[in-house]
Structure 1
Amino acid sequence: MNKQALNTIPLASLLDLKIDFAFKQLFGSERNKHLTIVFLNAILQSTGRESIKEVTFINQEVGGEYKKDKQSRLDIVLKTQNGELINIEIQLANKKDMFKRTLYYWSRLYNLQLQKGKGYHTLNPTITINICNFSLFQEIVHYHSTYHLYEDKTLQRVKKSDEVLEVHFIEMDKFLKAWKNEEQQLFNKVLERWLLMFSLVDGGKKIVREDIYQALEEIAMTDENIRKAFQAWEEISQDPETIIAYQSRVKYILDEEAKIEDAKYYAEQEGIEKGIEKGIEKGIKQGIEGIAKRMILKGNTNEEIMELTNLKLEEVQLIRKAVE
């Protein structure tokens, strides 16, 4: 195969697959279902599970504890031929509650299986896969972490028939670091080939990594699935409606990040850190309330304010009432 045949459009025109909308366009459609299956098997091969041969995409609405919470709509949810439920999530920013949030949505998805009149024996394993564009576990060096249920003393996992919880975290910045350190050694690992695709374009920083593209060219000469995935990626990156929706999603993400940055700036301006150092309790409280008021005026949600200020929901609601 011609080595130059992989890309037909400028690499900078490719949608960033770490943006949830772009990820769903490639891996969440019936048209590319065979690619989704290959990608899932690449992730799950380390757990010893039976290979996935068929999947069905299902309704993604499982959350909703917060009215404005984007996470109430899961990115991709599907069911395998064995009835296992799999949720794949793209996580662009670290909201500091990642593990708890993951377990919450895992539990909601697991719970949805139990229909009226059905026994607990009908519940199937539920798997959550998080692809994170940040480091989540500072104490862990490797970029692919998998969690199951274990007994504390013996470290023995629950028996196969009862093993219903499985959670994966893939940290992309750690993968990039490993790529720079190992390079050619990653070529022969199936999962890492897919992660190279995710690493090629960084839309937020407007970066295209030429070394990764060259590696993908080499891989595509013998890996038909990577070649087909790249072709499908180019197709969605040229569709006018998809581009408009993608740009809208990127704008929303950037606006949300700007709100958080503004909140941090106002926190510094209010002198909270200085107040904490001096132990002036009254000043701290006033500073926190001042931040909360500014965040309300900026349009932040109660949850965002609570996360930054550690205020209770009732306190935020009182401040919001006074401001509004």
Structure 2
Amino acid sequence: MESQILSRIPLKNLMDLKIDFAFKRIFGSERNKSLTIGFLNALLQRTGRNTIKEVTFINQEVGGEYKEDKQSRLDIVVKTQNEDYINIEIQLTNKNDMFKRTLYYWSRLYNSQLHRGNGYHTLNPTITINICDFTLFKEHAHFHSIYRLYEKTTLQRVQPSDDVLEIHFIEMDKFLKAWLMGELNPIEDMLAKWLLLLGMVDRRKQKVYEDIYKVLEELAMKDIKLREAFEAWQELSQDPESIIAYESRVKYIIDQTALIDDAKYHGEQAGIEKGRKEGFQKGMQEGIEKGIQKGIQEGFQEGMKAIVKKMIGKGNSNDEIMELTNLTVEEIQALRQEED
């Protein structure tokens, strides 16, 4: 009977929880607050006195806006009972300067706490969590990377009372590889349970890991939070309005990824041809190599400009364009003037 409860719909119909829209509907709603708390405690390894017991959601978008505003930021921002600020964001593509981008959004959340007339002592610890659907750090194999402030020589962290910066990266492809290699025990590892939930469905690859489902289904019989997550997930995946918004978001993500890939491909092809000509004129192999690299860069930039102009024409804001392309405000404004 219980097994039937966990398989009311075909697994292929379940939403991919790595799609930011679906992730936020499960972990960013007041209704599912207990799931958010459980996920954060597992990821941040909070136990005992440090356990997160309560969160307040900050700057939540209204559900209806997703149909019209496909580029609205779909991250989750919460404040804990200890007034720690936590930002959770799904990263589907490896944008340029990922770490700088993360620091930029971390600083905005940290800075937003300081109000006129208040001292710096009122600033609270701020944590950024990036769940990445790609490999970010090729130099190491572990899937959970944590960054904090520390002293260079002694490697000593700053005092806990001043430990205001904490950045987490979860690399889902490395996590799934560790799972397939038999290196994880979701019975003892609380974080593994939640990440298996996120990794079970891959919408962009049209893949469902049925072996993961079988393990989670068995665990859910004894883990009430995991069971509640399953039920919320299935309910969301059957809601007609949510399905429309989800599919719209998936299409937008795929289209934008294709635009970037297309611009990069055409830029590389044009750059290679231009580089060959420049290299031939110089008559040296060094000239060919430098010309190709220069041409690739210039071709990619031209392709990126074309994408930005399309986004400007559709009415996208500077922040939305910055997030996708990593261009500066000044560069975007210059392109806007070209369009005028």
**Distance in 2 between the 1:316 and 1:263 partners?**
21
TM-score, normalized by length of structure 1? 0.86
**Distance in 2 between the 1:287 and 1:178 partners?**
36
**What runs of 5+ residues in structure 2 fail to find an aligned partner?**
62-68, 280-286, 313-320
Between 1:41-50 and 1:279-288, the stretch displaced more is 279-288
1:218, CA displacement in angstroms? 1.5
Q: Deviations over 1:93-112 (max 9, x none)?
A: 10122111111111110011
Aligned twin of 1:29: 29
Amino acid at match of 2:185: Q
1:156, CA displacement in angstroms? 0.3
Contact 1:6–1:230 under 8 Å retained in 2: yes
Aligned twin of 2:100: 100
**Distance in 2 between the 1:265 and 1:137 partners?**
24
Between 1:40-49 and 1:227-236, the stretch displaced more is 40-49
Contact 1:275–1:284 under 8 Å retained in 2: yes
Aligned twin of 1:116: 116
Q: For residues 31 and 178 of structure 1, do their structure 2 counterparts lie closer, same or farther at Cα, with a shift above 3 Å needed?
A: same
1:268, CA displacement in angstroms? 3.0
Aligned pair 1:165/2:160, yes or no? Answer: no
Amino acid at match of 1:269: Q
Kindly report the root-mean-square deviation, in angstroms, between the aligned alpha carbons of the 2 structures. Answer: 3.2
Name the % identity: 61
Aligned twin of 1:64: none
Aligned twin of 2:197: 197
Q: For residues 49 and 20 of structure 1, do their structure 2 counterparts lie closer, same or farther at Cα, with a shift above 3 Å needed?
A: farther
Amino acid at match of 1:186: P
TM-score, normalized by length of structure 2? 0.82
**What runs of 5+ residues in structure 1 fail to find an aligned partner?**
62-67
**Distance in 2 between the 1:137 and 1:147 partners?**
13
Contact 1:293–1:319 under 8 Å retained in 2: no
1:251, CA displacement in angstroms? 1.0
Mapping 1:64-213, distance limit 5 Å: 70=71, 73=73, 75-182=75-182, 185-213=185-213
SS, match of residue 232 in structure 1: helix
Amino acid at match of 1:151: E
1:185, CA displacement in angstroms? 2.6
Aligned twin of 2:248: 248
Q: For residues 133 and 12 of structure 1, do their structure 2 counterparts lie closer, same or farther at Cα, with a shift above 3 Å needed?
A: same
Q: Deviations over 1:160-180 (max 9, x none)?
A: 111110111100000000001
Amino acid at match of 2:79: K
1:288, CA displacement in angstroms? 5.3
Aligned twin of 1:223: 223
Mapping 1:255-270, distance limit 5 Å: 255-270=255-270
Contact 1:16–1:203 under 8 Å retained in 2: yes
1:290, CA displacement in angstroms? 5.3
Aligned pair 1:214/2:246, yes or no? Answer: no
Contact 1:129–1:167 under 8 Å retained in 2: yes
SS, match of residue 100 in structure 1: helix
